[in-house]
C-alpha cells in the first residue's frame, strides 16, 4: 500500500499501520509481523540497520537479537543511551530461508530495498534526525541511493541534501562473525 495523497501519514503510529498493510513486494509472505522503529520522536541520532532478523521478526522490535546485543554494548561504550536514539531498518520485513526448523537471514535485494525506501523516507520526514548512522551496506544504499563500500565510507561524515549528517559503519551482525575479540572491539 502506498501512502494515499488525500490521507497523508502524519505520525509514526500511522506509518507503522501503513507498513503493516504494505504489499509493495513479495516478501510480505516471509514475515510474521511488521517491525516498526522504536524510540523518541525527535532524537539527536538515528540508527538504521538492514532488516529485522529472526528474533526481531518474532518480537516486532528492531535490534533485540544477537546483533542488538552487540549494538547495545557499542552504544554503552560510546556513552549513548539507546532510549535517546531512533532505531529502525531500511527494509521492514524479515527475508529468510528455512534450514530445517531455523529461519536463516537472506540479504534483501536492490528491488526490496527500493520498495521499502518509501517507509524509510517517510520516517525521516516525521523524525527529522540531525545525524543518521547507517549500519551496513543495505542501510547505506537505502539512504544514499548508491552502492557503497563500507571500508571507504566508514566513519566519514557525509552531508546530505537536507542538512542531515550521515555516518556509515559496519552492521553489528558483521562483528558476530569475527572470532578475535580485539578485532571485534575495533569493528564499530
CA distance 69 to 64: 7
Task: Answer yes or no: is 6 within a domain.
Answer: no
Task: Note down the domain range covering 179.
Answer: 12-187
Residue 4 has pLDDT above 50, yes or no: no
Here the cell at position 185 is 572491539
Q: Average pLDDT, stretch 142-165?
A: 92
* Spatial separation of the C-alpha atoms in residues 16 and 35, rounded to whole Å: 8
Task: List the CATH number of the domain containing 142.
Answer: 3.40.470.10
Task: Measure Cα distances from 77 to 71, 73, 181, 185 in Å.
Answer: 10, 6, 15, 10
Does any domain span residue 129? yes
Total domains in the fold of the chain = 1
pLDDT digits (tens, 9 = 90+) for 94-122: 888 888 988 887 889 999 899 899 999 99
Residue 55 near residue 81, CB atoms below 8 Å: no
Cell digits of residue 43: 532524537
DSSP H helices, 60-166, are: 66-77, 110-127, 137-144, 150-153
> In the predicted model, what is the mean pLDDT of the chain?
84
Residue 5 within any structural domain of the chain: no
Please tell me the pTM assigned to this model.
Answer: 0.84
Residue range 15-32, pLDDT digits in tens? 888 887 777 776 544 545
Greater confidence (41 vs 79) lies with: 79
pLDDT for 93: 85
pLDDT digits (tens, 9 = 90+) for 50-73: 998 888 888 888 999 999 999 999
Amino acid at each position: 500500500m502506498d501512502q494515499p495523497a488525500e490521507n497523508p501519514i502524519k505520525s509514526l503510529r500511522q506509518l507503522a499501520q501503513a507498513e503493516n498493510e504494505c504489499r509493495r513486494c513479495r516478501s510480505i509472505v516471509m514475515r510474521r509481523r511488521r517491525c516498526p522503529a522504536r524510540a523518541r520522536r525527535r532524537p539527536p541520532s538515528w540508527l538504521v540497520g538492514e532488516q529485522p532478523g529472526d528474533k526481531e521478526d518474532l518480537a516486532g522490535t528492531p535490534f533485540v537479537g544477537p546483533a542488538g546485543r552487540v549494538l547495545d554494548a557499542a552504544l554503552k561504550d560510546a556513552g549513548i543511551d539507546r532510549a535517546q536514539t531512533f532505531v529502525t531498518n531500511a527494509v521492514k520485513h524479515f527475508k529468510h530461508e528455512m534450514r530445517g526448523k531455523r529461519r536463516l537471514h537472506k540479504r534483501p535485494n536492490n528491488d526490496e530495498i527500493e520498495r521499502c525506501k518509501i517507509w524509510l523516507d517517510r520516517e525521516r520526514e516525521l523524525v527529522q534526525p540531525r545525524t543518521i548512522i547507517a549500519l551496513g551496506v543495505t542501510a547505506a544504499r537505502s539512504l544514499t541511493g548508491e552502492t557503497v563500500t563500507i571500508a571507504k565510507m566508514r566513519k566519514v561524515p557525509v552531508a546530505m541534501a537536507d542538512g542531515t549528517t550521515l555516518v556509515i559503519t559496519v552492521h553489528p551482525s558483521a562483528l558476530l562473525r569475527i572470532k578475535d575479540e580485539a578485532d571485534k572491539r575495533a569493528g564499530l
